[in-house]
């Protein structure tokens, strides 16, 4: 054998399998009489791997659905790939899902930059890009991106709710803001400012920001106290939320403390910060917190715990992400059931945009999922809650950002 | 022409012929993957010129890759410059940036240089977020994939594949000419024995800075092509891990070898995917095992192993 032949053979051996990839076309991509293939990317590795539990909980939930007979006789084949929270990898993986694995649609891809990278591609390919896992506002734009739909209340929605509360309930408010210097933080601040309106914006006396890499935010808290603010709008992720609650308590600053939903976990944030220091915090919620004792005897929470034990025993039952994943998976199952036997991509999108007053067991009482042909924001309701030293006590009515 | 050179030329021609045939055999998705292999290969050749040939370790080439990518993205997005022009501009900008970074880097050797460049890689994602007005902050910039020019019935993926292949061949020929000539000997001499090189009249400082510049230019061009292929840039795409990936690529491919960059590109593109196929729970552990096995079985990289196999074969026949 000459060296040339060896090289040629090696190349054929290396490239050969690539030539015969991809299944044959069906009536609808990703759908057979016995299966629906759904694609997903999640950061199982890399800097955002804490979110990876969402992908695992989704996988576990679809296993449960399949064990119970699937949807209309079809089992769910959930193909979830690691993108390490890197946008180029997300592009590659989603192209693989669409072009090679031929999934019916893409569901719950996680992250704002990663979803931005595939937003245009999926809309060009006319592949449903359902219930993306990010709180940015741009996912509900059916006019320009008719194939993409969000899920959770946006950060701006939440900011809006706090603004309304402050305007109604605080006499002579002076607002101090602490926010993380990125899209997430800025979206929250924008929501508050929009909610305050042109005139209300003057009520903000000081804005302080921090970088996610900063070690502490102590000096920002001191500055906020010295500004004379009597309302503290706290837009921080759990690590910094703990510091902020502790520090403001330690220096004797007692403003009306609005804590963003991102850090509302009793176990992860409030306990480490001190339950006494956390008393009277206010937040906006839409999901039941698994660490909040008031849901201990709630049927939905019991079912969730049973699910976690059976299908995802290695998962953390204190992690709100697992509640989140369970709920969004139920939302998808609802859409697929509503599709009946027409699982074309057009119909999946039509039905996703046709959810009417859907209650899910781990949404707070009174909160419903609603979509329409021009409303691509499924959850737009939240309720305020005050921490009473032990649990989040819901108060007031359910706020609905969808009603303008 | 010696026998060895004839063989080499034949292999290169066959490889190019296969590369040109691929777009008509593979799906668009596979082509996209091979386009990424070529892009990595260009970046790896850039780093290899610096690290493999010149002996300067860089853990920060992701920064130049990002600079190239953002140059292209901003020029297209802000000023609607035709994408073809943005590639040489990205290269020139990175050449300048690399040359300037190379001057202070002269004072640093070995591990100290590695740390200085590492700092560069760490800083870049944050700097990109800081200049939000230009870079779009952490939202990044969304681009449109360039289509084939009029008259060519190629899909955007096929077209981009050919563009990348063309740039790759051009840069590899230029690189080979540079490295196999007088300049290349000077570059290698500085790595092997800086004092002897100086004694022979090689201007060490100038050559080292220039090598840094050329190396950065290659990586920058790769970054520019990646912005076109992905059609999106964001700071999260250019984290420290990218720079480490480049270093892995050149070592696996073969240090101080031009063709090694292609093998390195194949490795960094496909092995993480295979690792994920094998285990979803711990893909990077599998990747690590791959790395160790490769390093154990082929301590001089894939090209080193191929050379060794070729030499054994020749002895066996001869």
**CA separation (Å) from B34 to A267, B22, B75, B223, B245?**
47, 9, 25, 15, 17
pLDDT above 90 for A4? no
Contact flag A18-B26 (C-beta cutoff 8 Å): yes
Which residue in B has a C-alpha nearest to residue A42's C-alpha? B280
Residues B169-178 have a mean pLDDT of: 95
**Which of B125, B237, B245, B302 is best to mutate for the A interface (most A CBs within 10 A)?**
B237
Outline where A253-344 has alpha helix (H): 271-273, 275-278, 299-311, 320-339
Which residue in A has a C-alpha nearest to residue B8's C-alpha? A4
- Which pLDDT does position B283 carry in this prediction? 82
Q: In this structure, is residue A91 part of a structural domain? A: yes
3-state secondary structure of A48: coil
Report B:224-243 residues touching A (Cβ under 8 A): 226, 230-237, 239, 241
CB contacts, 8 Å: A182 with chain B: 129, 137-138
Is residue A167 located within the same domain as residue A89? Answer: no
Q: In this structure, is residue A366 part of a structural domain? A: yes
CB contacts, 8 Å: A92 with chain B: 32-33, 36
pLDDT band, residue B318 (cuts 50/70/90): low
- Which pLDDT does position B153 carry in this prediction? 84
Q: Which two tokens stand for residue A151?
A: 């899920």
Q: Compute chain B's Rg from CA coordinates.
A: 20
CB contacts, 8 Å: A84 with chain B: 241
Nearest CB to B232: which of A18, A95, A116? A116
Is residue A172 located within the same domain as residue A272? Answer: yes
Q: Which two tokens stand for residue B216?
A: 């950065």
pLDDT band, residue A8 (cuts 50/70/90): low
- Which pLDDT does position B125 carry in this prediction? 86
Is residue A279 located within the same domain as residue A307? Answer: no
* Sign, Cα dihedral of B83, B87, B90, B93: negative
Q: Determine contact: B270 vs chain A, CB below 8 A.
A: no
CATH of the domain at A165: 3.40.50.2300
Name beta bridge partners: A71. A74
Instruction: List, for residues B116-134, the tens digit of each pLDDT value.
Output: 999 999 999 888 988 888 8
Is residue A161 located within the same domain as residue A277? Answer: yes
Task: Mean pLDDT check: name the lowest of A17-21, A209-213, A262-266, B262-266.
Answer: A17-21
Contact flag B234-A44 (C-beta cutoff 8 Å): no
Is residue A113 located within the same domain as residue A71? Answer: yes
Question: What is the 3-state secondary structure of chain B?
Answer: CCHHHHHHHHHHHHHHHHHHHHHHCCCHHHHHHHHHHHHHHHHHHHHHHHHHHCCCCCCCHHHHHHHHHHHHHHHHHHHCCCHHHHHHHHHHHHHHHHHHHHHHHCCCCHHHHHHHHHHHHHHHHHHHHHCHHHHCHHHCEECCCCCCCCCCCCCHHHHHHHHHHHHHHHHHHHHHHHHHCHHHHHHHHHHHCHHHHHHCCCCHHHHHHHHHHHHHHHHHHHHHHHHHHHCEECHHHHCHHHHHHHHHHHHHHCCCCCCHHHHHHHHHHHHHHHHHHHCCCCHHHHHHHHHHHHHHHCCCHHHHHHHHHHHHHHHHHC
Contact flag A82-B236 (C-beta cutoff 8 Å): no
Is residue A234 located within the same domain as residue A310? Answer: no
Contact flag A113-B36 (C-beta cutoff 8 Å): no
Q: Determine contact: A56 vs chain B, CB below 8 A.
A: no
Contact flag B280-A22 (C-beta cutoff 8 Å): no
Contact flag A3-B276 (C-beta cutoff 8 Å): no
Contact flag B33-A92 (C-beta cutoff 8 Å): yes
Is residue A354 located within the same domain as residue A314? Answer: yes
Is residue A135 located within the same domain as residue A220? Answer: no
Contact flag A92-B129 (C-beta cutoff 8 Å): no
Instruction: List, for residues B67-93, the tens digit of each pLDDT value.
Output: 999 999 999 999 999 999 999 999 999
The number of domains in chain A is 2
Q: Which two tokens stand for residue B249?
A: 């690529």
Q: Determine contact: B193 vs chain A, CB below 8 A.
A: no
CA dihedral A54, A134, A256, A204 (to 10 degrees): 160
- Decide which of B236 and A250 is more confident: A250
Tell me how close the Cα of A148 comes to any Cα of chain B, in angstroms.
16
- Which pLDDT does position B144 carry in this prediction? 86
CB contacts, 8 Å: B241 with chain A: 46, 84, 86
Which residue in B has a C-alpha nearest to residue A183's C-alpha? B138
Q: In this structure, is residue A291 part of a structural domain? A: no
**Which of A12, A116, A127 is best to mutate for the B interface (most B CBs within 10 A)?**
A116
**CA separation (Å) from B314 to B5, B232, B297?**
14, 48, 21
Residues A333-341 have a mean pLDDT of: 95
- Which pLDDT does position A1 carry in this prediction? 47
Q: In this structure, is residue A376 part of a structural domain? A: yes
- Which pLDDT does position A384 carry in this prediction? 95
**Which of A87, A134, A141 is best to mutate for the B interface (most B CBs within 10 A)?**
A87
Is residue A167 located within the same domain as residue A280? Answer: yes
Task: For residue A123, count other CB atoms closer than 10 A to its CB.
Answer: 17
Instruction: List, for residues A53-89, the tens digit of each pLDDT value.
Output: 999 999 999 999 999 999 999 999 999 999 988 899 9
Contact B145, B224 (CB under 8 A): no
Which residue in A has a C-alpha nearest to residue B24's C-alpha? A19
Is residue A165 located within the same domain as residue A279? Answer: yes
Contact flag B28-A114 (C-beta cutoff 8 Å): no
Residues A170-191 have a mean pLDDT of: 91
Cβ neighbors of A378 (< 8 A, separation 6 or more) are A131, A149, A150, A151, A331, A355, A369, A370, A371
- Which pLDDT does position A6 carry in this prediction? 56
Q: In this structure, is residue A111 part of a structural domain? A: yes
Which of A258, A285, A312 is the C-terminal boundary of a domain?
A285
Is residue A210 located within the same domain as residue A247? Answer: yes
Contact flag B140-A46 (C-beta cutoff 8 Å): no
Which residue in B has a C-alpha nearest to residue A115's C-alpha? B139
pLDDT above 60 for A396? yes
Mean pLDDT over the full length of chain A: 90
pLDDT above 90 for B239? no
CB contacts, 8 Å: B29 with chain A: 95-96, 99-100
Contact flag B126-A18 (C-beta cutoff 8 Å): no
Q: In this structure, is residue A290 part of a structural domain? A: no
Q: In this structure, is residue A8 part of a structural domain? A: no
Which residue in B has a C-alpha nearest to residue A136's C-alpha? B139
Tell me how close the Cα of B26 comes to any Cα of chain A, in angstroms.
6
CB contacts, 8 Å: B144 with chain A: 120
Which residue in A has a C-alpha nearest to residue B313's C-alpha? A3
**Which of B20, B29, B269 is best to mutate for the A interface (most A CBs within 10 A)?**
B29
Instruction: List, for residues B260-300, the tens digit of each pLDDT value.
Output: 999 999 999 999 999 988 887 788 889 999 999 999 999 89
Report B:78-137 residues touching A (Cβ under 8 A): 126, 129, 137
3-state secondary structure of A25: coil
pLDDT above 50 for A22? no
CA dihedral B12, B14, B16, B20 (to 10 degrees): 180
Instruction: List, for residues B135-153, the tens digit of each pLDDT value.
Output: 888 788 999 888 888 778 8
Size of interface A-B (CB pairs under 8 A): 99
Nearest CB to B310: which of A3, A21, A113? A3
pLDDT above 60 for B184? yes
Nearest CB to B138: which of A7, A15, A113? A113
Contact flag B231-A81 (C-beta cutoff 8 Å): no
Q: Which structural domain, as residue segments, surrounds residue A106?
A: 26-153+296-380
Residues A217-244 have a mean pLDDT of: 94
Q: In this structure, is residue A399 part of a structural domain? A: no
For chain B, list the domains and their CATH numbers. Answer: 3-317 (1.10.3470)
pLDDT above 50 for A25? no
- Which pLDDT does position A372 carry in this prediction? 94
Is residue A128 located within the same domain as residue A161? Answer: no
pLDDT above 70 for A219? yes
- Which pLDDT does position A19 carry in this prediction? 42
Contact flag B139-A46 (C-beta cutoff 8 Å): no
**Which of B236, B238, B245, B262 is best to mutate for the A interface (most A CBs within 10 A)?**
B236
């Amino acid at each position: 054998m000459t060296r040339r032949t060896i090289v040629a053979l090696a190349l054929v051996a290396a490239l050969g399998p690539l030539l015969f990839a991809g299944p044959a076309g069906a009536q609808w991509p990703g759908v057979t009489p016995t299966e629906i293939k759904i694609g997903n990317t999640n950061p199982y590795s890399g800097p955002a791997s804490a979110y990876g539990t969402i992908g695992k909980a989704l996988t576990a939930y679809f296993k449960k659905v399949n064990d119970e007979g699937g949807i209309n006789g079809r089992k769910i084949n959930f193909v979830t790939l690691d993108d390490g929270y890197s946008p180029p990898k997300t592009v590659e993986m989603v192209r693989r899902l669409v072009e090679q694995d031929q999934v019916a649609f893409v569901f719950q891809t996680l992250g704002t930059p990663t979803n931005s990278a595939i937003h245009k591609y999926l809309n060009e390919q006319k592949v449903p890009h359902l219930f993306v896992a990010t709180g940015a506002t741009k996912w509900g734009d059916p006019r320009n991106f008719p194939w993409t739909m969000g899920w959770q209340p946006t950060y701006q929605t939440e900011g809006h709710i706090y603004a309304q509360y402050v305007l109604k309930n605080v006499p002579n408010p002076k607002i101090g803001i602490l926010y993380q210097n990125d899209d997430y933080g800025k979206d929250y601040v924008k929501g508050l400012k929009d909610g305050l309106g042109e005139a209300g914006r003057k009520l903000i006396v000081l804005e302080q920001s921090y970088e996610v890499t900063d070690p502490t935010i102590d000096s920002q808290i001191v500055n906020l106290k010295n500004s004379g603010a009597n309302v503290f709008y706290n837009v921080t992720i759990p690590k910094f939320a703990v510091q902020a609650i502790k520090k403001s308590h330690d220096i004797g600053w007692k403003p009306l403390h609005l804590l963003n939903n991102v850090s509302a976990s009793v176990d992860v944030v409030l306990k480490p910060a001190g339950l006494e220091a956390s008393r009277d915090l206010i937040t906006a919620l839409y999901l039941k917190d698994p660490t909040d004792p008031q849901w201990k005897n709630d049927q939905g929470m019991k079912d969730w715990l049973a699910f976690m034990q059976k299908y995802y025993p290695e998962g953390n039952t204190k992690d709100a992400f697992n509640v989140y994943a369970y709920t969004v998976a139920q939302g998808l199952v609802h859409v697929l059931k509503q599709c009946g036997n027409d699982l074309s991509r057009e119909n999946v999108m039509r039905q996703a945009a046709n959810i009417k007053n859907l209650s899910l067991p781990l949404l707070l009482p009174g909160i419903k999922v609603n979509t329409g042909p021009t409303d691509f924001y499924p959850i737009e309701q939240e309720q305020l809650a005050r921490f009473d030293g032990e649990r989040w006590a819901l108060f007031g009515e359910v706020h609905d950002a969808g009603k303008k | 022409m010696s026998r060895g050179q004839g063989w080499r030329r034949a292999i290169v021609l066959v490889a190019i012929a296969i590369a040109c045939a691929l777009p008509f055999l593979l799906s668009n998705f596979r082509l996209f993957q091979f386009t990424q292999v070529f892009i990595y290969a260009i970046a790896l050749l850039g780093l290899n010129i610096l690290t493999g040939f010149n002996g300067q370790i860089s853990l920060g080439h992701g920064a130049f890759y990002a600079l190239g990518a953002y140059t292209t993205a901003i020029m297209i997005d802000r000023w609607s410059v035709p994408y073809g022009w943005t590639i040489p501009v990205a290269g020139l900008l990175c050449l300048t940036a690399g040359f300037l970074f190379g001057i202070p880097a002269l004072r640093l050797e070995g591990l100290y240089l590695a740390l200085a460049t590492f700092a560069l890689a760490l800083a870049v994602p944050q700097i990109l977020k800081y200049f939000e007005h230009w870079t779009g902050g952490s939202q990044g910039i969304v681009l449109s994939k360039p289509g084939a020019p009029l008259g060519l019935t190629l899909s955007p993926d096929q077209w981009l594949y050919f563009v990348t292949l063309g740039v790759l061949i051009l840069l590899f020929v230029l690189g080979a000419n540079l490295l196999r000539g007088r300049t290349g000997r000077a570059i290698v001499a500085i790595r092997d024995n800086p004092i002897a090189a100086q004694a022979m009249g090689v201007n060490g400082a100038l050559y080292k800075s220039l090598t840094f510049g050329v190396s950065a230019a290659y990586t920058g061009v790769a970054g520019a092509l990646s912005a076109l292929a992905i059609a999106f840039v964001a700071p999260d795409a250019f984290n420290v891990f990218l720079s480490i990936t480049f270093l892995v690529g050149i070592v696996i491919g073969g240090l101080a070898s031009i063709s090694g960059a292609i093998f390195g590109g194949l490795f960094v593109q496909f092995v993480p995917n295979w690792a994920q196929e094998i285990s979803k729970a711990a893909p990077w552990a599998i990747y690590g095992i791959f790395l160790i096995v490769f390093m154990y079985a082929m301590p001089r990289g894939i090209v080193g192993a191929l050379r060794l196999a070729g030499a054994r074969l020749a002895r066996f026949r001869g």
